[in-house]
Amino acid sequence: MVKIHKKTAVITSQVQLTEDIYSMWIRDGETAAGAKPGQFLSLYCKSESRLLPRPVSICEIDKEKGTLRLVYRVVGGGTEEFSHYNTGDTIEVLGPLGNGFHAEGSRAILIGGGIGIPPMLELAKQLDCGKRIVLGYRDITFLDKEFEKYGKVSISTEDGSSGTKGNVIDAIKANLLEGDIIYACGPIPMLRGVKAFAMEHGIKAQLSMEERMACGIGACLACVCKSGKKDPHTNVNNKRICKDGPVFYAEEVEI
């Protein structure tokens, strides 16, 4: 009856990618075995003053080694704490949680914005179809070289320091990218732009959403997003991002 529980994972490496972005590999065979691209883990702080788990998306999965890669931005005390962990330290994790992306179509456009970029890496690795990858940054780029193994990468930066100046949609237009399925993760304004672009061109889109979470398993109703239709579970026009998502079809969510 009791199916999942918190695990103690071992950190197998931790490196700093940019001023505030870190890449950490953790090992827990069972957690890695069940993981899919687009899912996330709840990470627990050691400090008892920081109660709530931090939801962090899965960047890469190595089922053979039983490891998972988490690339996260330091945004507060909790992620700051994670950034100080060293190889051999342990971390309490719960997951994999949420639904993840699912493969469809034959010509995919993968779009990642900011800290929404990491989950697209495992997806890029696993998708067995034609794919173009679009990565949007404010200025400093990260992970972009790693994506090149899996498809042609187009970059946008807000300050124009790399790739197209502007946002991911500007990069898509500048590079005349076409596809029959869009996968995207990033900040809400970006997802709003992706949804509009997808609707305009009649392309299906799977969007990975983000919100402040508490339980991470669908009970507390903290991390909801507006849905177009009444949700069968909540019986109102709200979907639970942690449980029903984080990946939704563009038409399912009002953003």
Partner 1 sequence: MRKRSKYSYCSESLRKDSGLERYEWNMNTKVNIAGIEWKNPVTTASGTFGSGLEYSEFVDLNQIGAVTTKGVSSIPWTGNSTPRIAETYGGMLNAVGLQNPGVDVFVKRDIPFLKQYDTRIIVNICGKTTKDYCDVVEGLADCDVDMLEINISCPNVKEGGIAFGQNCCQVEAITKEVKKYAGQPVIMKLSPNVTDITEIAKAAEAGGADAISLINTLTGMKIDIHKRKFVLANKTGGLSGPAIKPIAVRMVNQVAGAVKLPIIGMGGIMTGEDALEFIMAGATAVAVGTANFIKPTATMEVIQEIENYMKKYKIEDIRELIGCVDRV
Q: How far apart are CA 165 and CA 213, in angstroms?
A: 33
Q: Which of 183, 84, 73, 74 is nearest to 131 (CA)?
A: 183
Q: How far apart are CA 215 and CA 193, in angstroms?
A: 29
> Any idea what DSSP says for residue 7?
E
164-165 sheet: strands from edge to edge? 164-165, 152-157, 130-137, 107-113, 181-185, 204-208, 247-249
Q: Is 157 strand, coil or helix?
A: strand
Residue 6 vs 84, nearer CB to partner 1: 6
Q: How far is the CB of 223 from partner 1 (least distance, A)?
A: 7
Q: How far is the CB of 241 from partner 1 (least distance, A)?
A: 9
Q: Is 139 strand, coil or helix?
A: coil
Are 51 and 27 within 8 A, CB to CB? no
Q: How far is the CB of 244 from partner 1 (least distance, A)?
A: 12
Residue 44 vs 183, nearer CB to partner 1: 44
Q: How far is the CB of 1 from partner 1 (least distance, A)?
A: 6
Residue 169 vs 223, nearer CB to partner 1: 223
Q: How far is the CB of 211 from partner 1 (least distance, A)?
A: 5
Residue 15 vs 236, nearer CB to partner 1: 236
Q: How far is the CB of 216 from partner 1 (least distance, A)?
A: 8
Residue 88 vs 232, nearer CB to partner 1: 232
Which residues are at the interface with partner 1 (CB under 8 A)?
A: 1-6, 44, 48-53, 78, 94, 211-225, 233-238, 243
Residue 18 vs 47, nearer CB to partner 1: 47
CB atoms within 10 A of CB 235: 8
